[in-house]
Amino acid sequence: MERSPISRLVVISNRVAVPKARGAAGAQGGLAGALNAALKKHGGIWFGWSGQECDAFTGNINLQRHDGVTTATIDLGHQDIEEYYNGYANSTLWPLFHFRLDLTEYERETGKGYERVNERFADSVAPLVNGDDLVWVHDYHLLPLGSRLRERGLSNRMGFFLHTPWPPTRLFVSLPYHERLVRTMLEYDLIGFQTDEWLESFCHYCRKELGADIDEESGRIAYDGRVTYARAYPIGIDYEHLMDQAETGEARQAGQRLLSSTRRRKAMIGVDRLDYSKGLPERLDGIARYFDNHPERVRDVVFIQIAPPSREDVQSYQRIRATLEQKAGQINGARSEVDVVPIRYVNKGHSLAELCGFYRAAKIGLVTPLRDGMNLVAKEYVAAQDPEDPGVLILSRFAGAARQLTDAVLVNPHSPDDLAQAIDEALCMPLEERKRRWEAMIQTVRDDNVQRWTESFTSDLASVKQND
């Protein structure tokens, strides 16, 4: 593979996914496939939390090499995990960044834990960074990390990419110490967002609350004698890899399994981490409305929701799981016949190959988050379709992906009527229209792939003038 002129990469994220563990990039979060591809190309290391709990933090670093990628991980203690991961990252920042003030917890102790773990990350990774490495930090777990690395004397080019939305200023200011947090972010040289919308919200905050000087055209933000660039880089999927997976025997078998179990019923599919941002109860309400409007179609249509549990120690995730179980049970109880059940609700995770088989067998892909940075399941569903007989993507207007996949059937995920109507429209859509919409979408999915995403972020980072 041609080596790009950029230097080694040091990728830092909360979780580190080794190449072998890759699969279902969308369902597991967008980081895995994306970053392995970049690291293979440029060399370097991927640093993060091992996902393991230790008795007390030791600072020991576990270095491993898998399939051309070096990973370096640390274990965290119980209190660190509680306060940093379950607490501040997933009970404060995640709900706030998904516009859910009703679920956002503001606890001083978890804020301290978040700071402490960012310090631990900085202490552990700083000695692994060479002078001309590009440092690329990911996601809301590590907003202050760049600033912590600068305190340790690193003057490397440092970039940050936010995989989630950035909320409007009027919501973001509910966060205690919001100014301090954003000031630390301005120590990165380049900050990437998934869409223009999140980028504009961030710039609005910097201008209104910090009085930063912003050039919209170039994304240049001047503040306190430093310059940062902020731009939109919509993430894509690893298209080639997905196509390979879709051709495997595993994918074909999975598709066959689904088709033979549904017999002549048309399948609709949803694949999401079990997260309240994904709009799962709202989706079930839309499906219930569809069956209420067309009771006879219970025999013709089946909905399959794959929802692997996520962040199970966080209360709001325990609640959403209970809500979903109850709702799926109620809907099925009221609408099933002895030989047909309208909803299949599956908590198990699946390999990317199996998902490709399911996506292709399903006539409709339902991707209806209430808010989502991008959403890669939407792109995976499109990529896995049969070009001669493609299924229809029903996509929430509030997913970042809706900015690019404008030929999906776009819906308001909060409205059961809107969802029911979209399902009806999708099921009745003539082949010509399905093909026209799919051909428009597949171009974007193929061209704006993850290789292009990493290439454009890293080459911009390599070329930003530091402190110009």
Among 10, 11, 12, 15, binds ligand G6P (CB under 6 A): 15
φ, ψ (nearest 5 deg) of residue 153: 90, 5
Per CB under 6 A, contacts with ligand G6P among 156-185 are 163-164
Contact between 313 and 406 (Cβ < 8 Å): no
- The smaller minimum CB distance to ligand G6P, of residues 164 and 184, is found at 164
* Residue closer to ligand G6P (CB basis): 165 or 286: 165
Residues near ligand G6P (CB under 6 A), total:
9
Please report how close the Cβ of residue 333 comes to ligand G6P at its closest, in angstroms: 31
Helix, strand, coil in percent for the chain, rounding step 5: 50, 20, 30
* Closest CB to ligand G6P among residues 30, 286: 30
Instruction: Write the DSSP assignment of 163-201 as a string of letters.
Output: -S----HHHHTTSTTHHHHHHHHTTSSEEEESSHHHHHH
Determine if 194 is a binding residue for ligand G6P (CB under 6 A): no
Residue 35 Cβ vs ligand G6P, minimum distance, rounded to whole Å: 11
Closest residue by beta carbon to ligand G6P:
29
Residue at 337: amino acid letter: E
Closest CB to ligand G6P among 280 and 287?
280
By CB under 6 A, tell whether 29 contacts ligand G6P: yes
Full DSSP string of 81-118: IIIIIIIIIIIIIHHHHTT-GGG----HHHHHHHHHHH
CA angle (178 as vertex; 112, 133 as ends), nearest 5: 75
Q: How far apart are CA 337 and CA 319, in angstroms?
A: 29
Backbone angles phi, psi at 325, to 5 degrees: -60, -40
Nearer to ligand G6P, 139 or 460 (CB): 139
Burial, 161: exposed, middle or buried (Cβ in 10 Å; 0-12, 13-18, 19+)? Answer: buried
Distance between CA 92 and CA 143 in Å, rounded?
A: 13
Closest separation between CB of residue 38 and ligand G6P, Å? Answer: 16
Determine if 31 is a binding residue for ligand G6P (CB under 6 A): yes
Stretch that binds ligand G6P, among 24-32, 197-205, 333-341, 438-446 (CB under 6 A): 24-32
The residues that are catalytic are 163, 372
CA distance 429 to 412: 19
Nearest Cα to 391, choosing from 343, 419, 354, 358?
Answer: 358
Task: Tell me if 310 contacts ligand G6P by CB under 6 A.
Answer: yes
Q: Which two tokens stand for residue 336?
A: 């099933």
User: Smaller CB distance to ligand G6P: residue 185 or 464?
Assistant: 185
- Per CB under 6 A, the segment of 27-35, 222-230, 407-415, 442-450 that binds ligand G6P is 27-35
Q: By CB under 6 A, is residue 246 in contact with ligand G6P?
A: no
Q: How far is the CB of 311 from ligand G6P (least distance, A)?
A: 5
Site membership for ligand G6P, residue 139 (CB under 6 A): yes
Site residues, ligand G6P (CB under 6 A): 15, 29-31, 139, 163-164, 310-311
